[in-house]
């Protein structure tokens, strides 16, 4: 019991610091990259797109690898090594002499940040069945808290230089690693371990199973399009607001903190109420409609103050994905829930690679001298179109679901 009490707070703090570290550097990383690349925002934005995509790619590739390593060699060494690597990586990025070294640091950050897989496995190891949902809920809360505090703190620290947030993130992470060396017990005993197997660590293997569920495939396409659209925000937000409204790192940090606050409000309070009143299908379409309007509004905003109102109203788009996940789970056999959710996670990871490249490429082109018209919000307009396509696919898929349900009822009555 004592080891369990020591372990849970440490794992929760570890996940919180992971998200806090990501949030800390969001307001400063785009400007640091473009400054080191030459100072041209349009040209530097394309390079920053590769920074964002490389992080997502490493997460996609290494999450299953790290999870399987923790199955084979234990959670403790995998978590502690990744923490040490993350802390040293922040130091590398704080001292990086060129954008190429900064890029190397971002790749390493994607690898070490995949320790969330081992952290989730640790939670499952040490939590009794009746407490697992609550403990995993705490992990989800850490994501929200980290994204609220991180950008705001990063914006404040930027007053001391663009590299100051990296230094603070390094200090916090290394202190947590040192603390973990003394307090973190192993949760996966040797008798429960299994040999490392590359076939289990293949991130693409889980996608093949979706072919058995046409309804799930249709909704998976909606998930992919929504995720590609969504990633235009973190990858181009700072570039867009800097170019369009001359916002500072502090301005962006506070605005992104508001995004986190509104996300928490919608996720914790409004989603359940709206789903209960409208049902999953209507909630999904309503959420996607709000998302399309929100992206369009971001792209066409003429003054910076408008973005705060768009953030608050657009946060209601967060009702879409929980409703979609519920519909998918209802149309998936109980024995296949884990496999389908794993495949959907892989799809979202792939979309997180494509999204930043698309968004920063559009921003770079439509703010460059070669553009036929200056359109800094082009990425948001494209995202709006992608969400509309996703909504159309969802409507068609839901009609198919309804038709199948009707046929099933007719068959049962006969």
**In-domain check, residue 103:** yes
Residue 303 — φ and ψ, nearest 5°?
-145, 145
Report the CATH number that the domain containing residue 336 is assigned in CATH: 1.20.1250.20
CA gap 353, 235 in Å, rounded: 11
CB distance 383 to 230 below 8 Å: yes
Closest CA to 231 of 367, 109, 379: 379
**In-domain check, residue 158:** yes
**Among 135, 157, 185, which residue terminates a domain?**
185
164 with 274, same domain: the answer is no
User: Which residues 6+ apart lie within 8 Å of 212 measured at CB?
Assistant: 336
253 with 380, same domain: the answer is yes
12 with 149, same domain: the answer is yes
105 with 139, same domain: the answer is yes
pLDDT at 334: 58
211 with 318, same domain: the answer is yes
**In-domain check, residue 195:** no
CB distance 144 to 138 below 8 Å: no
Nearest-Å Rg of the Cα atoms of the chain is 22
Q: For 28, which DSSP code?
A: T
121 with 221, same domain: the answer is no
**DSSP3 helix / strand / coil % (the chain, rounded to 5):** 85, 0, 15
Residue 146 — φ and ψ, nearest 5°?
-60, -40
pLDDT at 325: 77
54 with 177, same domain: the answer is yes
Tokens of 263: 């996300």
96 with 15, same domain: the answer is yes
**In-domain check, residue 41:** yes
CA angle at residue 200 from 199 to 206, to 5 degrees? 95
**In-domain check, residue 190:** no
**In-domain check, residue 25:** yes
Please give the tally of structural domains in the chain. Answer: 2
Structural domain of 207: 203-414
* pLDDT, tens digit only, all 414 positions of the chain: 444 555 778 888 888 887 888 888 888 888 888 888 877 777 778 888 888 888 888 888 887 788 778 888 888 898 899 999 999 999 999 999 999 999 999 999 888 887 777 777 787 777 776 666 566 666 766 777 787 888 888 888 988 988 999 999 999 899 889 988 888 888 777 877 777 777 666 766 656 666 666 777 888 889 899 999 998 888 899 899 999 999 998 898 899 889 888 887 887 678 888 888 888 889 999 999 999 999 999 999 999 999 999 999 998 998 888 888 778 777 776 556 655 666 677 787 788 889 988 999 999 999 988 889 999 999 999 999 999 999 999 998 888 776 655 555 455 555
**Among 157, 185, 213, which residue terminates a domain?**
185
pLDDT at 207: 65
CA gap 234, 227 in Å, rounded: 11
pLDDT at 164: 93
pTM for the structure as a whole: 0.77
35 with 130, same domain: the answer is yes
pLDDT at 3: 47
**Among 152, 185, 218, which residue terminates a domain?**
185
Tokens of 393: 């696919």
CB distance 200 to 68 below 8 Å: yes
Closest CA to 29 of 174, 150, 176, 143: 150
212 with 149, same domain: the answer is no
289 with 175, same domain: the answer is no
**In-domain check, residue 192:** no
125 with 248, same domain: the answer is no
């Amino acid at each position: 019991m004592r080891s369990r009490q020591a372990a849970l707070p440490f794992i929760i703090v570890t996940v919180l610091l992971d998200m806090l570290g990501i949030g800390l550097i969001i307001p400063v990383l785009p400007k640091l990259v473009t400054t080191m690349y030459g100072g041209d925002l349009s040209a530097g934005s394309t390079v920053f797109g590769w920074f964002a995509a490389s992080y997502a790619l490493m997460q996609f590739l290494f999450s299953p690898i790290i999870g399987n390593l923790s199955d084979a060699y234990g959670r403790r060494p995998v978590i502690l090594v990744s923490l040490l690597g993350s802390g040293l990586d922040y130091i590398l990025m704080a001292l990086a002499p060129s954008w190429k070294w900064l890029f190397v640091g971002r790749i390493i950050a994607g690898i070490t940040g995949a320790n969330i897989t081992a952290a989730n496995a640790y939670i499952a190891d040490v939590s009794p069945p009746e407490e697992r949902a609550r403990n995993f809920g705490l992990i989800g809360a850490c994501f929200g808290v980290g994204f609220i505090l991180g950008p705001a703190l990063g914006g404040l620290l930027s007053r001391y230089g663009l590299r100051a947030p990296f230094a603070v993130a390094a200090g916090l992470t290394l202190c947590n690693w040192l603390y973990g060396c003394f307090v973190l017990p192993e949760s996966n005993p040797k008798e429960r371990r299994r040999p490392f197997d590359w076939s289990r660590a293949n991130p693409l293997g889980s996608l093949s199973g979706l072919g058995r569920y046409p309804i799930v495939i249709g909704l998976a396409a909606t998930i992919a399009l929504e995720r590609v659209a969504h990633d235009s925000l973190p990858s181009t937000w700072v570039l867009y607001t800097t170019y369009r409204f001359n916002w500072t790192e502090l301005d962006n940090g506070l605005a992104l903190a508001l995004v986190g606050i509104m996300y928490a409000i919608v996720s914790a309070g409004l989603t359940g109420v709206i789903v209960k009143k409208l049902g999953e299908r209507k909630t999904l379409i309503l959420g996607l409609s709000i998302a399309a309007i929100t992206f369009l509004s971001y792209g066409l905003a003429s003054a910076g103050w408008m973005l705060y109102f768009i953030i608050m109203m657009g946060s209601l788009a967060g009702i879409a994905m929980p409703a979609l996940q519920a519909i998918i789970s209802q149309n998936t056999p109980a024995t296949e829930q884990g496999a389908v959710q794993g495949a959907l996670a892989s799809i979202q990871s792939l979309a997180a690679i494509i999204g930043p490249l698309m968004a920063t490429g559009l921003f770079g082109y439509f703010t460059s001298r070669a553009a036929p018209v200056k359109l800094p919000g082009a990425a948001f307009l494209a995202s709006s179109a992608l969400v509309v396509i996703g909504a159309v696919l969802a409507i068609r898929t839901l009609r198919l679901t309804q038709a199948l349900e009707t046929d099933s009822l007719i068959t049962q009555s006969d």
